[in-house]
């Protein structure tokens, strides 16, 4: 009599039977046999797929998935073949999405903004799981002023922009996986503001006096400042400009004032934000102009200090009528003064009329 030991049927299982791993980590399955069976052949497959996928690797009875993605989740089958037959077991692998944030900032190339204007910066999340949190901050660490507001959806809104609002702004998006950031540069520009010394619209001097016209301007970026003179139909000329440490300035000096120096002088300041002009008129004050006369009209004789109505004629040489400035440019609502000079000893009455026939302004 020969006694053979009783053998249990071959059984297999996969450990773990179910697992959930995070995206981009690692998953591992082991196919275990309940007894020692010689000549065992182990095969792995994915249910419903023709292959295990590019990230799966088999080491004997172990299946590893490196840096699993969502597409790697599913049912994995272990199949063993022995002399006594074929056995199968399956396990479920779940992949929890985990993705680093990817962001874009709009506008990508921010145009310069004007002082007092407004601007919106948008930080858009294009990828990331779990959903990233978005936060704006100044790169220099300064807190936002009251005119800067963070709105939902990664929107940063600036209103009534000041020069202090210029600089680098950083958008940061973060989740459990990683943190990423992007930087945008904001340039604030301010149109020039001109200051002229002396600040009177009409500078009255005496013949032979030294005259100094100084024009300074502030703005961002720093403006270029220059003087020019309108010379009765002749081209303008530009004087020498001089730079100072804080602001730019231009100085025009007349060493000895003469009739040829009378006229309108224009200060122009320009930068990337715009161009502005201010004008000053330089006139020689005649000795006779120091006498106060009652107001008179151009179409009637002016009363004289002695009470007579005979016309007053200033002493002049030559003959004819001359307008020192035959072309003037003033801002809307501004003030202008035009002078008509009579040359010659003959008596005359002066009258102003508009060339187009319209009435003179009141």
- CATH of residue 143's domain is 2.60.40.10
Instruction: Give the CA count within 13 Å in the CB-facing half-sphere of 213.
Output: 33
CA proximity to 78, closest of 110, 116, 52: 52
Residue 213 pLDDT exceeds 50: yes
Question: What is the rounded average pLDDT for all residues in the chain?
Answer: 81
- Poorest-confidence range of 10-14, 45-49, 95-99? 10-14
User: Both tokens of residue 45?
Assistant: 């497959």
Residue 242 pLDDT exceeds 50: no
In a domain, 274, yes or no: yes
Confidence of residue 360 (pLDDT cuts 50, 70, 90): confident
Largest CA distance in the chain: 169
The total number of structural domains in the chain stands at 3
DSSP3 helix / strand / coil % (the chain, rounded to 5): 5, 50, 50
CA proximity to 56, closest of 19, 99, 93, 86: 93
In a domain, 321, yes or no: no
In a domain, 4, yes or no: no
Query: What is the extent of the structural domain holding 127?
Result: 102-190
Assess whether 71 and 186 both reside in one domain: no
Confidence of residue 312 (pLDDT cuts 50, 70, 90): very low
Assess whether 356 and 210 both reside in one domain: yes
Confidence of residue 51 (pLDDT cuts 50, 70, 90): very high
Distance CA 143, CA 184 (A): 17
Overall average pLDDT of the 15-27 stretch: 92
Last residue of some domain: 190, 208, 240? 190
Assess whether 78 and 166 both reside in one domain: no
pLDDT, position 319: 53
Assess whether 139 and 255 both reside in one domain: no
- Contact, 210 vs 254, CB < 8 A? yes
Distance CA 331, CA 277 (A): 10
In a domain, 119, yes or no: yes
Between 174 and 246, name the one with better pLDDT.
174
- Contact, 105 vs 182, CB < 8 A? yes
Confidence of residue 202 (pLDDT cuts 50, 70, 90): confident
Assess whether 90 and 41 both reside in one domain: yes
Question: Residue 98, exposed/middle/buried by CB under 10 A (0-12, 13-18, 19+)?
Answer: buried
In a domain, 33, yes or no: yes
CA proximity to 23, closest of 92, 57, 70: 70
Residue 316 pLDDT exceeds 60: no
- Poorest-confidence range of 12-21, 228-237, 332-341? 228-237
In a domain, 318, yes or no: no
In a domain, 317, yes or no: no
Instruction: Give the CA count within 13 Å in the CB-facing half-sphere of 231.
Output: 11
Last residue of some domain: 138, 155, 190? 190
pLDDT, position 352: 77
Residues 6+ positions from 31 with CB-CB distance below 8 Å = 12, 13, 14, 42, 44, 61, 62, 63, 78, 80, 89
Q: Count each helix (H run) and each strand (E run) in the chain, helices first.
A: 0, 27
Assess whether 113 and 184 both reside in one domain: yes
Assess whether 112 and 91 both reside in one domain: no
Number of neighbouring beta carbons within 10 Å of residue 344 = 13
Last residue of some domain: 190, 222, 240? 190
Assess whether 208 and 335 both reside in one domain: yes
Confidence of residue 246 (pLDDT cuts 50, 70, 90): very low
Assess whether 150 and 210 both reside in one domain: no
CA proximity to 327, closest of 228, 236, 231, 235: 231
Assess whether 279 and 332 both reside in one domain: yes
Between 293 and 147, name the one with better pLDDT.
147
Confidence of residue 24 (pLDDT cuts 50, 70, 90): confident
pLDDT, position 209: 92
Residue 292 pLDDT exceeds 70: no
pLDDT, position 310: 47
In a domain, 5, yes or no: no
Residue 303 pLDDT exceeds 60: no
Assess whether 61 and 109 both reside in one domain: no
Assess whether 132 and 278 both reside in one domain: no
């Amino acid at each position: 009599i020969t006694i053979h030991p009783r053998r249990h049927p071959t059984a297999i299982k996969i450990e773990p039977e179910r697992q959930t791993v995070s995206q981009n980590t690692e998953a591992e399955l082991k196919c275990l046999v309940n007894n020692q069976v010689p000549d065992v052949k182990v095969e792995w497959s994915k249910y419903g797929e023709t292959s295990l996928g590019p990230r799966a690797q088999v080491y004997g009875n172990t299946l590893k998935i490196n840096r699993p993605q969502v597409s790697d989740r599913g049912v994995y089958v272990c199949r063993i073949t022995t002399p006594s037959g074929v056995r199968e077991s399956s396990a479920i692998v779940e992949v929890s999405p985990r993705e680093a944030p990817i962001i874009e900032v709009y506008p990508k190339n921010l145009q310069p903004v004007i002082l007092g204007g407004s601007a919106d910066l948008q930080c858009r999340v294009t990828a990331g799981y779990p959903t990233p949190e978005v936060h704006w901050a100044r790169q220099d660490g300064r807190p936002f002023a009251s005119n800067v507001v963070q709105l939902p959806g990664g929107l940063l809104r600036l209103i009534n922009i000041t020069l202090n609002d210029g600089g680098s702004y950083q958008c940061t998006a973060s989740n459990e996986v990683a943190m990423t950031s992007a930087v945008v540069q904001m340039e604030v520009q301010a149109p020039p503001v001109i200051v002229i010394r002396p600040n009177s619209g009409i500078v009255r001097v005496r013949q032979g006096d030294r005259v100094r016209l100084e024009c300074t301007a502030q703005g961002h970026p720093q403006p270029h400042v220059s003087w020019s003179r309108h010379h009765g139909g002749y081209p303008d000329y530009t004087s020498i400009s001089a730079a100072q440490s804080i602001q730019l300035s231009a100085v025009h000096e007349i060493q000895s004032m003469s009739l040829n120096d009378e006229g309108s002088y224009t200060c122009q300041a320009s930068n990337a934000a715009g161009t502005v002009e201010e004008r000053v008129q330089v006139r020689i004050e005649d000795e006779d102009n120091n006498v106060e006369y009652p107001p008179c009209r151009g179409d009637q004789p002016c009363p004289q200090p002695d009470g007579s109505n005979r016309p007053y004629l200033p002493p002049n040489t030559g003959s004819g009528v001359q307008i020192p400035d035959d072309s003037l440019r003033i801002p809307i609502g501004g003030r202008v003064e035009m002078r008509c000079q009579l040359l010659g000893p003959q008596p005359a009455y002066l009258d102003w009329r508009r060339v187009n026939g319209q009435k003179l302004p009141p």
